[in-house]
Structure formats: structure tokens, C-alpha cells
Amino acid sequence: MKILKFSSSSLSNADKIKKAVKIVSDQFDSDQFIVVVSAIDGITDHLVKIAKLASQGDITYKKELALIEDRHVTTIKNLVETKNQNQFISPVLDLFKELSMLLDSMYNLRELTKRTLDLVMSFGERFSSLIIQGGFIDKGMPAELVDSCSLIKTDATYNNAIVNIELTNNNIQAYFKNPKKLYVAPGFIASSQSNETTTLGRGGADYTATLFVSALGTSNLEIWSDKDGIMTADPSFVKRAMTIKTISYDEALELAHFGSKVIFSPSLIPAINKKIPIQFKNTLNPAAEGTCICDKAESLKSSPVRGVTSISNVSLITVQGSGMIGVVGITSRLFSCISRKKVNVMLITQGSSEHSITFAVTPSDSQIAKKLIEKEFKLEMKDELIEPLNVEENLSIITIVGENMKNTPGISARLFDALGRNGISAVATAQGASELNISVVIKQEHEKKALNSVHETFFLSGLKTLNVFLIGTGVIGSTLLKQIAQQKEHLITKNNIEVKLIGLANIDKYLFNEDGIKVENWETDLINSGLPINLKDYVKEMKDLNLRNSVFVDCTASKDLADLYADILSSSISIVTPNKIANSSSIEYYEKIHDATARFGVKFLYETNVGAGLPVINTLKDLINSGDEIEKVEAMLSGSLNYIFSNFDDKNGFQQVVKEAREKGFTEPDPRDDLSGKDVGRKLLIIFREMGMKINLDDVDITNCLTKESQEAKSLDELWNTLEQFDNPEMEKRRKMAAESGKILKYVGIIENGKATTAIKEIAPDHPFYNINGSDNIVSFTTSRYKTNPLIVIGPGAGAEVTAAGIFADIIRIVNF
């Protein structure tokens, strides 16, 4: 005989019920069946609501009851053929009359006892049983309706009755001694010794099915829902949760204890005690393998962890004090006193010094437990042997479960690394003696992020998802988005890295999509769906999403945005940016943002601050970290100035070359921004700070390429005039003097002897900088190891493609930290 249980979610409408009927009909010729059914989805809660309305004297209970009646009648009409509908509708309407009379009595008496509530709730399964029976009969499968109340006997603990296993087994075995082809049995409901209707509490329909399985000794139990089985995590939190093929009884019980919503451990015990496999399957996808709970689960090569689960909204109580150390009976007194009020303890952890005991309870139990403990240890607290109780609220428990964890080193390290990398602190930890689970208590606000981080670590075969928030879609930003789109599939297949664009903003609008913005369509989506931009609103929403592996990418030159970096980093969000403002701001702010990276375990990467796509910062860091000593840095760090001085000769005057550079886009709209030398000064400052020097921009000796007259020009036209009148003759004189000695002019930054300077230098033909033309940059490091032949980094120092590539490289680098 096969026993199948159909959950509420698999019976929510006629179409789903038809699928359940078909599952049985496809096997009908080969076996005998007991089909255990739950109430139609949502009906039990609706019945409880109606009962409360009636007992409170609210006449609207009649309207609510009519809605339920109409839903059930409609379900029958959509389920069976028209000619058979009255045959199946009539008994359902009779049952509704019975329920209506009961509710009328409650309305008149203004009373709702637990016993009466059990009777009201029982109608949900009784209704669905009649409907399912009709569905079978309509398809030519005679089905006998089982009175579960007469078979399953309990005590009189209403709403969560305790089953008399021996009597129930005898009743079931006697009833099915000469089994027929097909039975339909309502789950969840039972009766007391005095034949009063009782219910079996949460998971009651599953419990009914396992009681039948245990009593009859069948080979397995199938539990059907609208899910593919038990998942590696709750899919409402973790969208990439996967179906677990097999799971051991012990693992299933641990997952159930620590919050899995698919299974409820007490309901499985009868089947587990008899070592009967339980198969979880999907009525909407019957071909799917589903999940099998069995004695020995299949060993997983990919991960020793079977699942990750969580309990939301937990309170943590800590009892501590010097008077607890070495005192026998403290623990016994503690848990005995709270057990008297049936306070359920979910997790316990104790310091090895015996100085403290911490345990987790539901918020509703926390104040009850606090009062009980304070009463129990009143004298110890008076004498200050035990400190005032510490109750922490708004917490969650994250638990990983797996039998093979105990044989695999490094599991705890990987768990805490996944949490730590995402700025999630452990409030408390615990591990079962069987080593089947490791639990971590965290702030509830981090629950979703923690589940995704841990799940990614143990189940996604090394795949790392970077959740990117980008501001700035100008030339650099749009080029970066194009590069991300081009490399997206390559990164997934070759590097196990997924770059997911979650947030996007330009000067006008911003857009968020937690499922990911399609990089190929970003411009259209931003125009059509974007909201008016406000930087603080954007940053707040990014922080509120609280996603794992978050990276903020600033492709602007905004000081307002740079001023928010410390706040962003403190929210455990890494930053990648070509924006130099933060790193060249005051030394106090510079240290604040860099200290935040260490404190909150995030990264602040800015390779493109200095040389676009050139590896200047990383090369410098490698030299310093490997113990080399930097003696001198020489650098040409402005593509604009290098272009100007490379093309300034006896045929092209200074003013002419500056105009040409502006027309070709090599300078800012106002070329004084480049010719002032401040941009080079900022880059030099950043390099100097990487070397450990605590200086500000004012400490850098910056040479302005322009005369005072050009610097003070009030318009571009006036600038061109002053360039021709004052700068051109002055600069031409310097050029000629250099040329007479075979040299050329270059704008160079130098760090040496604890000083940073920028200047227009005469460069000889044997100097590495002599042949640097166009917009290329070059940096020369003279060190204790690279003394005779300096280490040189050379290449394009400007341009959208190379700058975007440098930003992209920094984004990917986040994964490898």
C-alpha cells in the first residue's frame, strides 16, 4: 500500500487538485492508496478568523463563511464534470450547514474555547477530503472517505494534542486489515478518549501520514506540495537555493529545529522511528526527483554541508557572574525554572570558564524567562554574584547542517569568513555535540545577506556574485558597462564570477533592481524606470538592501559623493573608483576611509586614481609589502600635459598646441584645470601617501604652467590672448634653451628625500621619459632593489577604454580578497 500526503499548497485550486488526482490515477492499477489531505490553502487561517469574529459578536462572520462556501463550491464545479457536480456539492453544503450552526452558537454565547476552536479548524480538512474524494470518483476511481478522528486517538490537549500511539496503531491496523483500492483521509484532525475533536498542531497533516505509515509498515511515504523538495536554503531568501536529493533523518531533524519551513520534526518521528523513507515531491513538476529523507543519505562531493537555514526574530538572554564559576546546580536551576512555564529554548552556549550561560528564545518568551530567572536567582543578584540579566532583541539564528561536517576541516573558518567578509558579526555561536550543526546568532537585519553569503560559500561551486552599484554613466561609466556586458559570460564560465548590476545612476536619475539590471539595456531602463537622483537617497537605498559582496563604483568626479565614502564603507560595502578626491582630500579624511576598510573588512580600490589602467598603485604596494625601500619616484602623470609638451616645438607654439589639445579632448573644457598642475599634484600626493607619508595637497610643491596673467583670465578668449602675449614667449624661451642642449621639456612629478614636487623639467635623450609621446604616462620607481635600473611602468594614462578596464579589474579584484 502506498501512502501519499498532499499539502495545502498543492490543493489551493481545482487545477492543482486535478494534478494531485492524476498523480494517483497514473499509478492506480499497480497499487492500493491512502491519500492524506490538508485543508485547501489558507482555509484554516480563515476559519480561525471567522471563529474569533463570531465569538466577539461580529455578525460579519456570516459573510466570511459565505466566501469560503463559495470558494469550495467553485472548486468542485471546476474539478468535476457538470453532470456529477450536485452529487459532490451536496455533502459539502451539508457540512457547511453544520459549521454555520456551530458558529451561530458561538455568536450567541460570545465564547471561543480551545476545544471549540479545534472543532472549527477540523472543518478545513473535512471539506478538502470530500472535494478530493469527488475528484477521484469523477475520474472513475472509487474512493472511501476515512474518519481520521475515529482512528487517531489523543489526550485532551486541544490545539496541539498528544497522540496515544499504541491505541492509534491498533485502530489503524484494524481498519485497514482488508484494504480497498483507494482511501481519502483528512489530516491534522483526531479525537480524544471522550471522542471530542482535537487537532495535531503545526505539521499535523504530515503527522497523520507518518502515523499511517508507521502503523501499517509501508515501504515509504510521499509528501506532495508545490515545491521540488527540501531546498539547500529558504528560496524566499536565497533565490539560488537548490533541491537536496537525499538527506538523513538526523540532518532533516536539525534543519527542522533551526527553522526549515518545509519539515516539522515532531510530525516525522513515527516514520523515522521505523526508518521509513519520506519522499518530498512537487505536484506541479511530478517528474522532478524531489528529496528523500532516509537513514543514510548520499554523500555529497561538492559540499559537506547539506543545508543552511535560519530562525528569524530571536531573543538572546545571558546569565553571567562570578558567583556561577564552579557552583554545582546553577545550570539545572536556570533551565528548570523557565521550563515550568514551558519556555522553549532554541540554542544554548556556555563559556568554558562557566562565567556565563547564553540561550535563545522567542521574543514572547524572553520577558517571561527574565522574570522567572530574576525570581530564581534573587539572592545571588542581591549579593552581586550574578549580574543583571542581559536580554538582546531583534536577532536571527543562522545554522549550517551536515553529517560530513565533522570529517571536514575548515568548515567553521569558511562559515565565519563568509560572514566577516560581508560585515556580519556573530553575537553568539554554538555547535552540537554530534557536530551535525554550527549555529551563529546575528542581527536580524543581516539575516538575508548572511543566508546568501553562506549559501554561496558552500553550495555554488565557487561561484561568486558581486552586487555592483554604479554612479556615473558618462564616457568612463558607459564604457565600463559595455565591458561588463561583453565579459559577463566569460567571467561566469571561466572564472566563476558573476557581476550583477543592482544599482545605477547618472546626473538625472537612479534605478535599483535586486534581481539585476540588464547591462545591455541599462540606458533604456534608466530613462524609462529611473527616479530623480538624490545621492543620499541612492546611498541609503543601497545600504538598506544590505546585499552580500556589495561593491560601490563611483565613476564621477563628485566631491559630495566622495564625502560619503566613509559612511558607505562602514556599511560593509567595498568601493572602487577613479575619483581622486577622497584620496587627495585632508589627511584626516584619508585616514578615516582607509581605517574603515580594516575595521569593517571591506576594500577601497582606486588603481585608476593615478594612471588610468596602468598598475601604478598595485606595483607600489607590492614593492612596499615585499620589503623594498622606495628611494625616488619620477612620474609623468598627465596625458594632457604630455600631449602638449610632446607637440610643442619650433613649428607649433605653446598657445597653438594648448588649443589643439583642447579641441581633441585631451584637456578639460577649461585647459587651466590641466595646466595648473594640480591634477598631477593630487596623483603625486596619492602615491606619497601610499608610501606612508602623512601630508596634504598644500605640502606638494606644484608648478603652474601658466603665468599669473593667464591664471587670472576671466574667459577662454582672454586666456588665449594672455597665452599668446605672456606664456608663449616665456615657454618658447625655455623650449629653445632646452633644445640647444639637446633636451626637451616635460611636466614631471618627483618624490625624493621626503618631498613631493611637480615641475617643467628638461629631459635628456638618455632619460626614460624622453621618448614618451602622446597621452602616455610613465612612472619610474628607484628602490633599494631597483637602483641601477629603475622599475618602470609605462602605457596609456588616459582614455575611456583603459580607464574603464582598470576599474573593471579592481571590481574583479574584490572577489580575490
Q: What is the largest CA-CA distance in the chain?
A: 118
Contact 440, 415 (CB under 8 A): yes
What span, in angstroms and rounded, lies between the C-alpha atoms of 777 and 639?
6
Contact 157, 198 (CB under 8 A): yes
* Cβ count near 765 (within 10 Å): 9
Catalytic residues: 683
pLDDT tops 80 at residue 660: yes
What span, in angstroms and rounded, lies between the C-alpha atoms of 394 and 437?
22
Query: Which pLDDT value is given to residue 672?
Result: 92
What span, in angstroms and rounded, lies between the C-alpha atoms of 746 and 738?
11
The mean pLDDT value for 322-328 works out to 86
Contacts of 480 (CB under 8 A, 6+ apart): 470, 553, 555, 804, 807, 808
Phi, psi of 598 (to 5 degrees): -75, -40
Question: Could you tell me what percent of the chain has a pLDDT over 90?
Answer: 82
What type of residue sits at position 261? Answer: K
Contact 397, 441 (CB under 8 A): yes
What span, in angstroms and rounded, lies between the C-alpha atoms of 5 and 125?
12
Contact 757, 740 (CB under 8 A): no
Of the listed ranges 157-161, 631-635, 794-798, the least confidently predicted one is 794-798
What span, in angstroms and rounded, lies between the C-alpha atoms of 247 and 131?
33
Q: Residue 263: which pLDDT band, with cuts at 50, 70 and 90? A: confident
What type of residue sits at position 541? Answer: E
Contact 562, 606 (CB under 8 A): no
Q: Pull the grid cell for residue 736.
A: 629653445
Query: Which pLDDT value is given to residue 353?
Result: 64
Question: Which phi-psi region, left, alpha or beta, contains residue 759 (left: φ > 0; alpha: ψ -120 to 50)?
Answer: beta
Query: Which pLDDT value is given to residue 234?
Result: 92
Contacts of 91 (CB under 8 A, 6+ apart): 130
Query: Which pLDDT value is given to residue 260?
Result: 77
155-183 core/surface letters (b: 16 or more CB in 10 A; e: else): eeebeebebbbeebbebbeebbeeeeebb
The residue that leads in pLDDT, 666 or 414, is 414
pLDDT tops 80 at residue 359: yes
Q: Pull the grid cell for residue 791.
A: 622599475
Phi, psi of 196 (to 5 degrees): -85, 140
Q: Residue 115: which pLDDT band, with cuts at 50, 70 and 90? A: very high
Question: Could you tell me what percent of the chain has a pLDDT over 70?
Answer: 99
What span, in angstroms and rounded, lies between the C-alpha atoms of 173 and 268?
19
Question: Which phi-psi region, left, alpha or beta, contains residue 419 (left: φ > 0; alpha: ψ -120 to 50)?
Answer: alpha
Query: Which pLDDT value is given to residue 461?
Result: 63
278-321 pLDDT per residue, tens: 999 999 999 999 999 999 888 776 688 999 999 999 999 999 99
Contact 475, 440 (CB under 8 A): no
What is the pTM for the complete model shown? 0.79
Of the listed ranges 107-111, 259-263, 470-474, 658-662, the least confidently predicted one is 259-263
697-708 pLDDT per residue, tens: 999 999 999 999
The residue with cell 477530503 is: 129
Q: Pull the grid cell for residue 628.
A: 623594498
Helix, strand, or coil (residue 791): strand
Return the closest-CA partner of residue 194 out of 161, 154, 225.
154
Contacts of 371 (CB under 8 A, 6+ apart): none
Q: Residue 352: which pLDDT band, with cuts at 50, 70 and 90? A: low
Contact 777, 794 (CB under 8 A): yes
Contact 680, 633 (CB under 8 A): no
Q: Residue 136: which pLDDT band, with cuts at 50, 70 and 90? A: very high
The residue with cell 606619497 is: 688
Q: How does DSSP classify residue 196?
A: -
Query: Which pLDDT value is given to residue 817?
Result: 64
Return the closest-CA partner of residue 633 out of 796, 783, 797.
783
pLDDT tops 70 at residue 626: yes
pLDDT tops 90 at residue 777: yes
Q: How does DSSP classify residue 300?
A: P
Contacts of 625 (CB under 8 A, 6+ apart): none
Residues counted in the chain:
817
Q: Residue 143: which pLDDT band, with cuts at 50, 70 and 90? A: very high
Beta strand pairing call for 356-361 and 307-320: antiparallel
pLDDT tops 70 at residue 536: yes
Helix, strand, or coil (residue 220): coil
What span, in angstroms and rounded, lies between the C-alpha atoms of 494 and 521?
24
How buried is 14 (Cβ within 10 angstroms: 0-12 exposed, 13-18 middle, 19+ buried)?
Answer: middle
242-252 pLDDT per residue, tens: 999 999 999 99
Q: Pull the grid cell for residue 637.
A: 602623470
Q: How far is CA 568 from the centre of its chain?
A: 17
Contact 814, 467 (CB under 8 A): no
Q: What radius of gyration, in Å, describes the C-alpha atoms of the chain?
A: 37
330-341 pLDDT per residue, tens: 889 999 999 999
Q: How far is CA 263 from the centre of its chain?
A: 23
The mean pLDDT value for 545-568 works out to 95
How buried is 751 (Cβ within 10 angstroms: 0-12 exposed, 13-18 middle, 19+ buried)?
Answer: buried
Query: Which pLDDT value is given to residue 320?
Result: 93
The mean pLDDT value for 446-456 works out to 94
What span, in angstroms and rounded, lies between the C-alpha atoms of 273 and 753?
79
The residue with cell 563628485 is: 558
What span, in angstroms and rounded, lies between the C-alpha atoms of 737 and 733?
6
Mean pLDDT for the chain overall: 93
- What is the dihedral angle through the alpha carbons of 474, 476, 481, 482, rounded to the nearest 10 degrees? 110
pLDDT tops 70 at residue 137: yes
What span, in angstroms and rounded, lies between the C-alpha atoms of 257 and 255?
5
Of the listed ranges 422-426, 663-667, 692-696, the least confidently predicted one is 663-667
* Cβ count near 328 (within 10 Å): 6
Q: Residue 753: which pLDDT band, with cuts at 50, 70 and 90? A: very high
Q: Three-state SS across 423-485?
A: CCCCCEEEECCCCCEEEEEEEHHHHHHHHHHHHHHHHCCCCEEEEEEEECCCHHHHHHHHHHH
